[in-house]
């Protein structure tokens, strides 16, 4: 009887050993890459970074969504170091932060700047931590147009436009902006500005009229923002991690994980490096369309 059971025992031990081996291998890979595993082993704090001008929301939303559904992640720190960016991407990240906050704690850590759209995405978090010297606020909307009509006339060029309606080329750089054009654009700006004010008022649980008084585009230091109720605590990333661990019910030093970094292809690296150098040379970035952005 014992002999008959022995092959099953050996098979069981082999399968158990293989399971433990692959489990340890997965944990080691996750530790080296910073990618959390799906195994609910250990209690972790996840950090999602939003750095630079906000032009796309896909990456931030994906990371927030993944960490939200990972049971080993007890809280999330959203590290924001951004002057803002496009209205659409900022609103999409804002909405994801708001959804995540209903599932697990999310704390914002502001870096050197979290202004305009950078503040917009922070507003719905459970708690906001900023450095005393962080540049934040800039609650407002901007849209810029450059008119080159005089330049074209000097070099003998003339634009010919065929359009379906008189406002189809609104904001065109080759004709003056009419009074009616300006009224239409101002109406858009005012509507999006109201959306910004409402988002801050709801996220920060503030009186909309109080927010409106602060929403004239001005910037604040982190310390000023705290006095005005736009920020909760003063401190850096480590303070935000400590608070997040406490809110997540973690005792002691938490394990901190980041999303895995994708290795760029050589062509992508060269393009990105070229664009960075161009941006540095121009000293200022101009982007078309509605912007939640602080113009440095």
- Cα–Cα distance list, 154 to 104, 157, 175 (Å): 61, 8, 14
Q: Which of 82, 109, 116, 138 is catalytic?
A: 116
Rounded CA-CA distance 105/117 in Å is 21
Annotated catalytic residue, options 112, 159, 168, 187? 168
Three-state secondary-structure class, residue 84: strand
Determine whether 112 is an active site residue: no
Rounded to 5 degrees, what are φ and ψ at 122? -85, -25
Locate the DSSP E strands across the chain: 44-51, 73-82, 84-86, 106-115, 127-130, 135-137, 219-221, 233-234, 255-257, 291-293
Closest CA to 105 of 38, 45, 32: 45
Non-local (6+) Cβ contacts of 188 within 8 A are 143, 290
Two tokens, residue 186: 């101002």
- Of 121, 83, 50, the closest CA to residue 295 belongs to 83
Q: Pairing mode, if any, of strands 219-221 and 106-115?
A: unpaired
Active site (annotated) includes residue 31: no
Nearest to 74 by CA among 111, 117, 105: 105
In this structure, how many other beta carbons lie within 10 angstroms of the beta carbon of residue 286?
Answer: 9
Task: Kindly list the catalytic residues.
Answer: 116, 168
């Amino acid at each position: 009887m014992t002999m008959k059971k022995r092959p099953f025992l050996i098979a069981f031990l082999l399968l158990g050993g293989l399971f433990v081996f692959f489990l340890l291998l997965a944990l080691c890979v996750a530790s080296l890459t910073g990618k959390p595993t799906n195994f609910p082993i250990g209690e972790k704090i996840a950090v999602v970074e939003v750095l630079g001008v906000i032009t796309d929301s896909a990456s931030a939303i994906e990371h927030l969504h993944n960490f939200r559904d990972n049971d080993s992640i007890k809280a999330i720190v959203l590290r924001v170091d951004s002057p803002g960016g496009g209205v659409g991407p900022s609103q999409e990240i804002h909405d994801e932060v708001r959804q995540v906050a209903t599932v697990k704690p999310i704390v914002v850590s502001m870096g050197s700047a979290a202004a305009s759209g950078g503040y917009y995405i922070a507003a719905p978090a459970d708690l906001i931590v900023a450095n005393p010297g962080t540049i934040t606020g800039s609650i407002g909307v901007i849209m810029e147009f450059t008119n080159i009509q005089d330049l074209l006339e000097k070099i003998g060029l003339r634009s010919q436009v065929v359009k379906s309606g008189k406002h189809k080329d609104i904001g065109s750089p080759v004709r003056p902006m009419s009074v009616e054009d300006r009224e239409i654009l101002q109406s858009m700006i005012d509507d999006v500005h109201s959306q910004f004010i409402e988002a801050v008022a709801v996220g920060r649980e503030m009186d909309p009229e109080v927010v409106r008084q602060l929403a004239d585009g001005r910037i604040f230091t982190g310390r000023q923002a705290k006095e005005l109720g736009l920020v909760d605590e003063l401190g850096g990333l480590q303070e935000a991690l400590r608070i997040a661990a406490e809110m997540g019910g973690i005792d002691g030093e938490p394990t901190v994980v980041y999303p895995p970094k994708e290795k760029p292809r050589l062509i992508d690296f060269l393009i990105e490096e070229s664009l960075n150098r161009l941006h540095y040379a121009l000293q200022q970035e101009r982007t078309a369309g509605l912007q939640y952005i602080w113009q440095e």
